[in-house]
Amino acid sequence: MSRKATLALIALIALGGAALVAGPALAQTAPAAAVPAAPHAPPYGRAVTLAEAKTVVAAAEAEARKQGWLMVITVVEPNGALVMSQKMDGAQYGSNDVARRKAETSANFRRPTSYFQEAVKGGTLNAIFTGALAIEGGELLIIDGKIAGAIGASGGSGAQDGLIARAGAAAVK
């Protein structure tokens, strides 16, 4: 057998083996869970302004100080683009990314992140659903009945983060 024919045979055997190995694994892969529709999800509207974001962050920070918690608070536009992020002195560094991702999740999926957290707990959504952070602390900013952006808070427990995010969101309703 020629060298060229031998290499072709080896390649064919390798491809066939790969198909046999991958075939059963692919057949056993469960389909991705669809995101359940949020009840009464408002439409997207205009983007939150910097002045409004400052109001949101100030209200969230005031609640965090009242509770004695150190937080990172982030505000994004409806498309998830950053408007403002504030890290309180002493807040953990890891909360910078988490607060941003909570705000993005809320804006991108038109619902609070607590919705995903509850869906995971209830077994109706995989915990690693692509693109969503399933931890309480992301809330929508609703202005004139439309989504103007979202706030994300991180630094405490999910429930603490949610309280802070809701306090901020309430400042522009």
Domain boundaries, the chain: 1-31, 50-170
Q: Do the Cβ atoms of 44 and 139 come closer than 8 Å?
A: no
Q: Do the Cβ atoms of 100 and 74 come closer than 8 Å?
A: yes
pLDDT in the model for residue 9: 42
pLDDT digits (tens, 9 = 90+) for 16-47: 444 333 444 433 444 444 555 556 789 999 99
Tokens of 173: 């309703």
Sheet holding 72-76, edge to edge: 82-87, 72-76, 146-154, 138-143
pLDDT in the model for residue 48: 98
Q: In the CATH scheme, what is the homologous superfamily, with its name and number, of domain 50-170?
A: Haem-degrading domain (3.30.450.150)
**What is this structure's pTM?**
0.76
